[in-house]
Amino acid sequence: MNHDKKIKAFFEGVEQASNTLDLNLIDAQYTEQFIFADPNGTRVIEKQKFFSALPKRYEFFKSLGHRSTKVVSLDETPIDDQYTIVKAHFLMQFQKTPGQMIEAKVDSTYILFMKGDTPRIAMHIEHEDLKEAMHAWGLL
């Protein structure tokens, strides 16, 4: 399987995990430690600590009316045989009240470690402060 197909399949899994909180799938998607970055800075995250926060995050999104997250497109730039940068464009849908669907476009950049059967996230960059964006979208 070439990198393009591996990356497409990987992000189908990211989409699925975002919509179902499949912890086994998420476990396979991350390195044991990874770097998370957003407009507020960077930090190294231990995968197990990340896992412990996911159910609360999932329930928080559901409380805001999260209905789905869809990968709209991917822009891939190989660095070398071991790492690839992927800018992922997502469409998140929220429904706060019946008939009122809020669509939010979110871009994230990932550095994927490509060794092995499946890529794994070594760095995840959010391009905007998600809390601020949620205010702008009228969700908070």
**What digits encode the pLDDT tens for the residues 26-37?**
999 999 999 999
Average pLDDT, the chain: 92
Supply the pLDDT for residue 14: 95
- Which pTM value belongs to this model? 0.91
Q: Tell me what the mean pLDDT of segment 96-121 comes to.
A: 92
- Residue 110 burial (C-beta neighbours within 10 Å; 0-12, 13-18, 19+): buried
Give pLDDT tens digits for 59-76: 999 999 999 999 999 999
What is the structure's pLDDT at 1? 42
Checking if the pLDDT of 130 tops 90, the result is no
Residue 27: alpha-carbon gap to chain centroid: 13
Long-range contacts for 53-56 (Cβ within 8 Å, ≥24 apart)?
Answer: 54/21, 54/23, 54/26, 55/21
- pLDDT of 48 > 70? The answer is yes
CATH number at residue 87: 3.10.450.50
Residues of the domain holding 103: 3-136
Q: How many domains does the chain have?
A: 1
